[in-house]
Amino acid sequence: MSVNVEALLREALAPVEPPVRLAQRLEARLASLTELAQEELEGWELATMRDPRNWVRPVIAVSVAVTAGTALVALRVRGRHNTRVRESANLLDLAERTLHDIAEETRRVLPDR
């Protein structure tokens, strides 16, 4: 009995697309975390920042906002990758479109200021 190890590995390591619902839930949670962190930061006043004991909550809020916001931008940009590939004439055009998409998504995630 001969076992084809290469075929078994190829089958075991084949990429699996996550369910669409999972991506939607992840995007919704990341958006919610980003908004909550931004609201937390808006509520803080600079005068209270003189005391280092007051720095913990804003530092955590900034960390959450940056991490969740970056993940949200990456998730949305990655989700439109196939569309950009189809619309691009060459690799340089694809890179330009991707950078433009990243900039647009970043503007959407950042608060209006």
Within a domain: residue 5? no
pLDDT digits (tens, 9 = 90+) for 78-98: 988 989 999 999 999 999 999
Count of domains observed in the chain:
1
DSSP symbol at 19: P
Structural domain including 102 reads 19-109
Q: For residue 2, tell me if it sits in a domain.
A: no
Q: Could you tell me if residue 50 is inside a domain?
A: yes
Q: What's residue 64's pLDDT?
A: 92
Tens of each residue's pLDDT in the chain, 113 residues: 567 888 888 888 887 777 889 889 999 999 999 998 888 888 777 777 777 887 888 889 899 999 999 999 999 999 889 899 999 999 999 999 999 999 999 998 876 64
Q: Is residue 27 part of a domain?
A: yes
pLDDT for the residue 112:
60
Predicted local distance difference test score (pLDDT) of residue 77: 93
- Cβ atoms of 100 and 91 within 8 Å: the answer is no
Task: Tell me how far CA of residue 13 lies from CA of 8, 9, 18, 68, in angstroms.
Answer: 9, 6, 14, 29
Residue 6 covered by a domain: no
54 found inside a domain = yes
